[in-house]
Structure 1
């Protein structure tokens, strides 16, 4: 877990007058699930595409599995699995034909039937891709990303279009791959998903990393303290934000000499922290 699977230093990428990635640093350890969060246009997809070797960079140093993605050869590419935002499966083939076809691109692929079952498409194995629902097509995209048995799996918004049950099944798949030693880089807009899966997170805004750490560490470091709410004896509601909620509750206990009406203690969520770090926080 100490060796870096991905090492990025000073990454920059511009499109004309627009700076998509601006002096970005990332260090992703082998075997961890690493989440990248950020609003649309923050530079997440550009960063992932550079890691894949599918987009050039303007400046900075990037190493992925010991190689520069800009010059990675076919053997290096076979060690990386990718799930694109856009669908990549041919519409006329069946699910089984598609997975089996893509397996031939890799020197040591996983068993196609195992992968089809793993993503929950065993009942659709004989169905043509064009007849699948949006969520089922997304599962197929995930299957194509993992069929090669990758050391590093890059997932760009992989559960878009999934219903809640399918999303939870996908989470189980990611945990299983992580347990097997696969390094996973995940971009997602679902904060619950990031918190459930990621060992560490990077929050990107305006093309640079504004915070990085475990979900718990981000809440602790960048949260605005807890919110304590209660009802006064005259029936009026009271709310207080505090960094020491236990002390506040203890003072209320002494003042009320017993039960505190309407008492709630709410700590900042990952969503609260994310909105604050990306400048989207609104007053309540």
Structure 2
């Protein structure tokens, strides 16, 4: 967000979580409303349906199949959350109520810099180029560029260069707010080398969906289940040592079709990859 919006534009609020219990409570709601279900579903894919979380092609396939659905769940949660009343300083008003009242009292806020690259913001609303040092009595007003003006010092030049390096600024300004190393993010990679192979994958997946083909060997057929049938819930372990267990319901009418979608796509992906290796 800082790279996208620029420095000092309220991209983040730093501080102890004990001073911001509302956001902590919000994360609990995000998990209970939809986050835990997706997490349990991905564990199920790994345990029963062939997902390898260390395989970047499998992670790409997860993004391809489910990222839009996850974003839809996020949008639905936001819409519901913005309609719920907030106690205390909210005076039992919803976020939408407070937004409307704020607009009526103070007008609609318009961000003049929205969508503008931070480099352009600094160029036209800040300092662009090296700072110029002038002699006493010289203001720069009405003075020609060829007048005797002292050259910028090496310190000011270095400062200007560091200001142009936005990432270095962010790291320096906010270093004290980070108390641990960044978490490594698993890499995902498109498994297809060209558009023709990608189109082949799309067409095969559409055909499998249209004909309702469920591939064998991916834990999706009744003969591949145990005596209790297809599971209706998953167990998530929580706590520092995984001592707590959460029973997460995964309704069959929602999550089994998604598992079948994963099985179809994975089977086609593996067949295409195998054919390319021959």
**What TM bracket, shorter-length normalisation?**
under 0.3
Q: Kindly name which structure, 1 or 2, has the bigger radius of gyration based on alpha carbons.
A: 2
Query: Going by fraction, where is strand more abundant, 1 or 2?
Result: 1
Higher relative contact order (CA 8 A, sep 6+): 2
Normalising by structure 1, report the TM-score.
Answer: 0.22
Normalising by structure 2, report the TM-score.
Answer: 0.22
